[in-house]
């Protein structure tokens, strides 16, 4: 019966993470498996106030069909913040509101990727991007991401052997590894892509969640012609509204609007207006500072606990921001086997395999620190350390 | 520079209707061009109450990431209503919440249509469906829709020469023509499709908006194995939330969920809960009765005015529901030319051409009656009648 489906759907991996999340429903389990922002930091009261104000101000207009580009007030706010924080001048005509950055990936895949065309992807990389692009049947070219960023050697080799349509990057506090591309790495990448037709997608959901180190330049600044920038309110305000955006050059934007219209006409005008009102009446920077403080403390607790409880032969990344860190077990061990041991001890994480284009057993794993408090982190990491020791016996 | 795009995007028609809507921004223009529900009938106060209740009941949970299938409470309500109104038993596992029915079309195109495969489409037909499927580069097989429904002769001929993957239908009060498929026509279509692998999409956004005549059986009842049913709250409650759903068999649903996850993870949980609460606390049937009463009066005013003011050689459909009716001018006239004349007199409509797969000048046009009150309809139709007389001189 499978033959009735389009070829494109057969290659899309179902999210492994969601399957693990089902185990996480048991409240006695300590979960480092999630990929969620911490709900205790959601500005519930402020959103409630903004919502009531929206009802007062807009009346029934708020419920009518709206334009595919998105609410102009919200797009102005986004443009304003890019200028204020990043000195990036972006006309609102170059901003399209999407249902989270995930839809940005879907729309870019739709308008750009013909079957078999090249898409460069980080390895390990964001599972949702692999899923979104898989629909359009590209040829994936994985490029290793390590402490400094993308492997320049591998990137040069890919770029010299083929002309990829897209290159997908999460240069700040990447999911799953937590690493950021160094400034040097960014300029090297820009040099390689300049004067090519490869479009670089800079997906930046975590950029605001920086706890140490300095802010690195955006590809939008150093490779403006080839860069499409994706942003999101999911990690800084709330994820449930599904509100993100794409910043793209004119010619790309024109096609994106057509694709958005064909996909779902437009993103909910109501939730766009609520976020606009929230941004108007509240200090987003103060709110983000609060998130940074909490996540920063939790990251430190996780790093300290890992140093204390994990065997020395285990290595791990030292993120300066974001929500994840990445652990590498000794060679020839399996993080899937570790998960089996850990589940018995009621602690879970995501093994590394779904973050590779071609899933395979690995000795790597992802730990999330945004949703677990300091004390639970210490208990959970100690348990996980014990499980690793059992695995290594 | 166009060569950078995927082939799939070059064939997607930009919505002609949206371009016309720009002229409609002039408040002195009488517009029969829109495709919008009447905002004066939106249950603003009730939605406001439901929203405040949602804040009280759910707290921060409402803002977290959620599941791709959609809120189970809402899916239960949808299933309950199908049983109550249509005697259809649908397990909630076979219901997926989408960003309006438009996204249902996108997801079905994604999982089912390989390049070049056949898609049967009504002619005239819903522009949004043509746009959504165009992305996946099918071969369109237009089948004429007239007073009784689809042309059985043409459908048989298409089905005997090819094996279309999909057949798209709006059997109740179709957009743009307003006509409904007769019971006989439905059974004839079911006979032709039974034991084939062609999947029938029954898009039913207007089914509840019936002002006269009797309710016809759903394809989900008479051709259950081959039918995917699309529903929407856009025409009965509010369109701006972008909430619709797909009812599909198990094997299709499994792929749809993967495609939904890859497209945007999930539809806003917040707006799903608001509509759930609205449905729980209010009498939807009473609300729909109110819409039916108003739209029914406006449809009657339009039909009466057409009879009074249009020349006899003009023919038109007699819808029993929905939001549109369809006018056919004498042969060898152009509705685009009529539009030029009508705009001078400050009345607008949508010429027929965008409702055909291959746009061409036609002698047909669509009139919307949901957004214009009785008196304005009389004035507008008189003006349009005068413009037609001018055209026919």
CA dist., res. A86 & res. A89, Å (int): 9
Decide if B176 contacts B355 (C-beta within 8 A). yes
Q: What is the mean pLDDT of each run of 10 residues along chain A (393 residues)?
A: 57 55 77 91 96 93 90 98 95 97 96 95 94 93 95 97 96 97 98 97 98 96 96 95 96 94 94 98 98 98 98 97 98 92 92 86 94 97 98 94
Q: Which of B9, B37, B268 sits opposite A268 (nearest CB)?
A: B268
Look at residues A39, A12, A11, A3 and name the one whose alpha carbon lies nearest to residue A372.
Answer: A39
pLDDT at A1: 35
Best mutation target, A102, A118, A262, A277, to test chain B (most B CBs within 10 A) = A262
Q: DSSP assignment, residue B356?
A: S
Does residue A196 sit at the B interface (CB-CB below 8 Å)?
no
Decide if A114 contacts B6 (C-beta within 8 A). yes
- Residues carrying CATH 3.40.640.10, chain A: 46-281
3-state helix/strand/coil string of B299-346: HHHHHHHHHHHCCCCCEECCCCECCEEEEECCCCCCHHHHHHHHHHCC
pLDDT at A2: 42
pLDDT at B154: 97
Count of CB atoms situated within 10 Å of the CB of B322: 28
CA dist., res. A113 & res. B6, Å (int): 5
Interchain pair A111, B66: CB under 8 A: no
Which residues 6-35 of A have a C-beta within 8 angstroms of B? 6-9, 12, 14-15, 18
Set of chain A residues whose Cβ sits within 8 Å of the Cβ of B203 = none
Per-residue pLDDT of chain B (393 residues; tens, 9 = 90+): 345 666 665 555 455 555 566 676 778 899 999 888 999 999 999 999 999 999 999 988 899 888 899 999 999 999 999 999 999 999 999 999 999 999 999 999 999 999 999 999 999 999 899 999 999 999 999 999 999 999 999 999 999 999 999 999 999 999 999 999 999 999 999 999 999 999 999 999 999 999 999 999 999 999 999 999 999 999 999 999 999 999 999 999 999 999 999 999 999 999 999 999 999 999 999 999 999 999 999 999 999 999 999 999 999 999 999 999 999 999 999 998 999 899 889 999 999 988 998 877 799 999 999 999 999 999 999 999 999 999 999
Interchain pair B259, A4: CB under 8 A: no
- Residues carrying CATH 3.40.640.10, chain B: 47-281
What number is the ipTM of this complex? Answer: 0.91
CA dist., res. A27 & res. A51, Å (int): 32
Distance from CA of B336 to the nearest CA of A (A): 23
Does residue A163 sit at the B interface (CB-CB below 8 Å)?
no
Decide if B164 contacts B117 (C-beta within 8 A). yes
CA dist., res. A18 & res. A325, Å (int): 19
pLDDT at A360: 76
B116: nearest CA in chain A? A6
pLDDT at A18: 58
pLDDT at A61: 87
Q: Which of A6, A132, A165 sits opposite B114 (nearest CB)?
A: A6
Q: DSSP assignment, residue A329?
A: P
Does residue B112 sit at the A interface (CB-CB below 8 Å)?
yes
Q: Between A and B, how many CB-CB pairs are < 8 A?
A: 215
pLDDT at A377: 98
Best mutation target, B37, B44, B63, B228, to test chain A (most A CBs within 10 A) = B63
Interchain pair B110, A8: CB under 8 A: yes
Longest dimension (CA), chain A: 66
Distance from CA of A391 to the nearest CA of B (A): 33
CA dist., res. A77 & res. A67, Å (int): 17
The CATH architecture assigned to A46-281 reads 3-Layer(aba) Sandwich (3.40)
Which strand (E) or helix (H) includes residue A141? strand A139-146
pLDDT at A35: 84
Give the DSSP letter string of A295-323. Answer: HHHHHHHHHHHHHHHS-TT-EE---SBSS
Which residues 359-378 of B have a C-beta within 8 angstroms of A? none
B64: nearest CA in chain A? A240
Q: Which of B42, B262, B269 sits opposite A131 (nearest CB)?
A: B262
Q: DSSP assignment, residue B348?
A: E
CA dist., res. A38 & res. A44, Å (int): 12
Set of chain A residues whose Cβ sits within 8 Å of the Cβ of B117 = 6
CA dist., res. B36 & res. B295, Å (int): 12
CA dist., res. B371 & res. B71, Å (int): 31
Look at residues A108, A115, A134 and name the one whose alpha carbon lies nearest to residue A14.
Answer: A134
Look at residues B91, B76, B61, B74 and name the one whose alpha carbon lies nearest to residue B272.
Answer: B74
Look at residues B319, B281, B282, B290 and name the one whose alpha carbon lies nearest to residue B303.
Answer: B319
3-state helix/strand/coil string of B10-29: HCCCCCHHHHHHHHCCCCCC
Interchain pair A4, B110: CB under 8 A: no
The CATH architecture assigned to A2-42+286-392 reads Alpha-Beta Complex (3.90)
Does residue B256 sit at the A interface (CB-CB below 8 Å)?
no
Give the DSSP letter string of B134-201. Answer: HTT--EEEEEEEETTEE-HHHHHHHHHH---SEEEE--SS-TTT-----HHHHHHHHHHHTTSSPEEE
Look at residues B191, B200, B320, B197 and name the one whose alpha carbon lies nearest to residue B248.
Answer: B200
Does residue A1 sit at the B interface (CB-CB below 8 Å)?
yes
pLDDT at B1: 35
Q: Which of B112, B234, B265 sits opposite A100 (nearest CB)?
A: B265
Decide if B59 contacts A48 (C-beta within 8 A). no
Instruction: Encode A304-322: b = buried (16+ Cβ within 10 Å), e = exposed.
Output: ebbeebbeeebebbebbbb
Which residues 133-162 of B have a C-beta within 8 angstroms of A? 134-136
Sign of CA dihedral A201, A203, A207, A213: negative
pLDDT at B2: 42
Look at residues A197, A56, A115 and name the one whose alpha carbon lies nearest to residue B8.
Answer: A115
Is CATH 3.40.640.10 the right assignment for the domain spanning B47-281?
Answer: yes
Cα-Cα-Cα-Cα torsion B358, B360, B365, B370, nearest 10 degrees, comes to 40
- Residues carrying CATH 3.90.1150.10, chain B: 2-42+286-392
């Amino acid at each position: 019966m499978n033959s009735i489906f389009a070829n494109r759907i057969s290659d899309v991996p179902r999210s492994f993470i969601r399957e693990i999340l089902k185990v996480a429903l048991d409240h006695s389990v300590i979960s480092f498996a999630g990929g969620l922002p911490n709900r205790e930091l959601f500005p519930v009261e402020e959103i409630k106030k903004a919502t009531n104000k929206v009802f007062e101000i807009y009346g029934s207009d708020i419920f009518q069909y709206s334009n595919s580009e998105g609410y102009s007030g919200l797009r102005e706010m986004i443009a304003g913040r890019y200028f204020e924080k990043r000195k990036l001048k972006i006309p609102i005509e170059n901003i399209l509101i999407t249902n989270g950055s995930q839809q940005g990936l879907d729309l870019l895949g739709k308008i750009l990727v013909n079957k078999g065309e090249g898409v460069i992807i980080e390895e390990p990389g964001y599972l949702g991007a692999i899923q979104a692009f898989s629909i359009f049947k590209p040829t994936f070219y994985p490029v290793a991401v390590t402490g400094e960023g993308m492997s320049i050697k591998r990137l040069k080799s890919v770029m010299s052997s083929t002309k990829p349509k897209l290159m997908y990057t999460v240069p700040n506090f990447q999911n799953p590894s937590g690493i950021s591309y160094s400034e040097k790495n960014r300029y090297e990448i820009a040099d390689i892509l300049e004067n090519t037709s490869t479009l670089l997608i800079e997906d930046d959901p975590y950029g605001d969640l920086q706890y140490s180190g300095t802010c690195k330049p955006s590809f939008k600044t150093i490779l403006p012609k080839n860069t499409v920038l994706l942003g999101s309110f999911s990690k800084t305000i709330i994820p449930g509204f599904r509100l993100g955006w794409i910043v793209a050059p004119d010619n790309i934007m024109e096609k994106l609007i057509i694709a958005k219209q064909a996909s779902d006409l437009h993103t909910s005008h109501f939730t766009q207006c609520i976020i606009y009102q929230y941004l108007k009446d509240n200090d987003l920077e103060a709110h983000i500072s609060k998130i940074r403080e909490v996540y920063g403390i939790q990251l430190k607790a996780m790093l300290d606990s890992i140093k204390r409880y994990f065997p020395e032969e285990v290595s791990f990344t030292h993120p300066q921001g974001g929500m994840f860190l990445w652990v590498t077990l000794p060679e020839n061990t399996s993080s899937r086997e570790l998960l089996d041991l850990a589940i018995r001890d009621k602690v879970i994480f995501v093994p590394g395999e779904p973050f590779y284009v071609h899933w395979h057993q690995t000795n790597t794993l992802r730990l999330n620190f945004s949703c677990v408090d300091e004390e639970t982190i210490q208990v959970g990491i100690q348990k996980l350390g014990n499980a690793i020791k059992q695995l290594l016996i």
